[in-house]
């Protein structure tokens, strides 16, 4: 069985982070391994608190796994601290892990920082180890300094991130005006993935970036080409979001 490792934060509400990644790996028939960068206290709507793990502990989690399992793809999500990012860069330099999908997580949808100061630079330091980097518009702006808000600037940002050393870049257009378009640059050419805007509360879309990057990692772990991995991950994500929309609202428990 092919194996994918997620290095990300834990989301006890299950919609994002490690919990969502493992669910997606499983849905693709890929064995999931996980290394937790940070604990969070959240209810699916708001992140109430974040408790990062030390970079020493994070490395321990990963090196113990690498001794036992061969890892076909890696997904990186929330890092918690810049220190964790720096430690991962040193590890990738030493171990030469392949098929790294870097989801550049800086903050929750509600605006809570999911990485400390200096985090943006640490994330940038991981770009050269990535097969593919998957920023949204805001993250692409923070990484490149370009005001990314339309197709033209998405292409420009993809080229800039590619020149930082990633083999490929997927800029997610979920925050565009009108119908969303994701822009993939594979180092040679652009592909455009058009979608229809789904309606719903923020809760419905909690963890979409996590699930997309996990789906891409699962596809790469299975040996699929990049474009197919992106297409399959998008399709699976849309199916999950559609299902979420029809599920009756969870019963509230008064505490």
Residue 4: CB minimum distance to ligand PXL, A: 16
Residues 6+ apart with CB under 8 A from 193: 181, 182, 183, 184, 230, 231, 234
The site map against ligand PXL for 105-144 (x = CB under 6 A) is x--x-----x------------------------------
Residues 6+ apart with CB under 8 A from 222: 2, 28, 29, 30, 72
Residue 121: CB minimum distance to ligand PXL, A: 19
When asked if residue 11 is in the footprint of ligand PXL (CB under 6 A), the reply is yes
Nearest to 136 by CA among 83, 205, 74: 205
Residue position matching structure tokens 């020149």: 163
Q: In this complex, which beta carbon is closest to ligand PXL, that of residue 21 or of residue 186? A: 21
DSSP characters over 110-151? T--BSB-TTHHHHHHHHGGG-SEE--BHHHHHHHH-S---SH
The site map against ligand PXL for 21-40 (x = CB under 6 A) is -------------------x
Nearest 10 degrees: Cα torsion 220, 224, 225, 231: -90
**What whole-number distance in Å separates Cα of residue 79 and Cα of residue 83?**
9
Residue 10: CB minimum distance to ligand PXL, A: 6
Residue 163: CB minimum distance to ligand PXL, A: 26
**Of residues 143-202, which lie at the interface with ligand PXL (CB under 6 A)?**
none
Residues 6+ apart with CB under 8 A from 172: 134, 135, 136, 137, 180, 182, 209, 212
When asked if residue 207 is in the footprint of ligand PXL (CB under 6 A), the reply is yes
Q: In this complex, which beta carbon is closest to ligand PXL, that of residue 20 or of residue 186? A: 20
Question: Which residue of 2, 9, 131, 215 would you call a contact of ligand PXL, by CB under 6 A?
Answer: 9
Contacts with ligand PXL by CB under 6 A: the residue count is 16
Structural Rg of the chain based on CA atoms: 17
**What whole-number distance in Å separates Cα of residue 180 and Cα of residue 168?**
20
**Of residues 52-111, which lie at the interface with ligand PXL (CB under 6 A)?**
77-78, 105, 108
Residue 120: CB minimum distance to ligand PXL, A: 15
Q: Which stretch binds ligand PXL (CB under 6 A): 4-12, 141-149, 179-187, 244-252?
A: 4-12
DSSP characters over 161-224? HHHTT-SEEEEB-TTSSSS-EEEEE-SS-EEEEE--PPP--HHHHTTHHHHHHHHHHHHHHTT-
Q: In this complex, which beta carbon is closest to ligand PXL, that of residue 2 or of residue 140? A: 140
Q: In this complex, which beta carbon is closest to ligand PXL, that of residue 190 or of residue 205? A: 205
- Which residues are at the interface with ligand PXL (CB under 6 A)? 8-9, 11, 16-17, 40, 42, 47, 77-78, 105, 108, 114, 207, 209-210
């Amino acid at each position: 069985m092919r194996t994918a490792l997620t290095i990300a934060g834990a989301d006890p509400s299950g919609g994002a982070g490690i919990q969502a990644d493992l669910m997606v790996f499983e849905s693709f028939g890929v064995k999931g391994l996980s290394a937790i960068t940070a604990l969070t206290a959240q209810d699916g709507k708001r992140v109430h608190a974040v408790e990062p793990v030390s970079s020493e502990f994070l490395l321990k989690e990963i090196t113990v796994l690498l001794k036992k399992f061969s890892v076909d793809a890696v997904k990186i999500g929330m890092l918690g601290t810049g220190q964790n990012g720096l430690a991962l860069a040193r590890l990738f330099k030493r171990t030469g892990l392949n098929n790294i999908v870097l989801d550049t997580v800086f903050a929750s949808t509600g605006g809570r920082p999911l990485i400390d100061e200096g985090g943006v630079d640490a994330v940038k330091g991981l770009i050269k180890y990535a097969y593919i980097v998957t920023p949204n518009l805001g993250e692409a702006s923070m990484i490149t300094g370009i005001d990314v808000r339309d197709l033209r600037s998405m292409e420009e940002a993809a080229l800039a991130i590619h020149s930082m050393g990633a083999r490929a870049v997927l800029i997610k257009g979920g925050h565009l005006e009108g119908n969303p378009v994701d822009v993939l640059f594979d180092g040679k050419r652009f592909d455009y993935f058009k979608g229809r805007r789904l309606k719903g509360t923020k809760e419905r879309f909690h963890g979409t970036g996590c699930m997309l990057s996990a789906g891409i990692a699962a596809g790469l772990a299975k040996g699929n080409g990049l474009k197919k991995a992106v297409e399959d991950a998008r399709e699976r994500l849309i199916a999950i979001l559609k299902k979420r929309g029809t599920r009756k609202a969870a019963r509230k428990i008064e505490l």
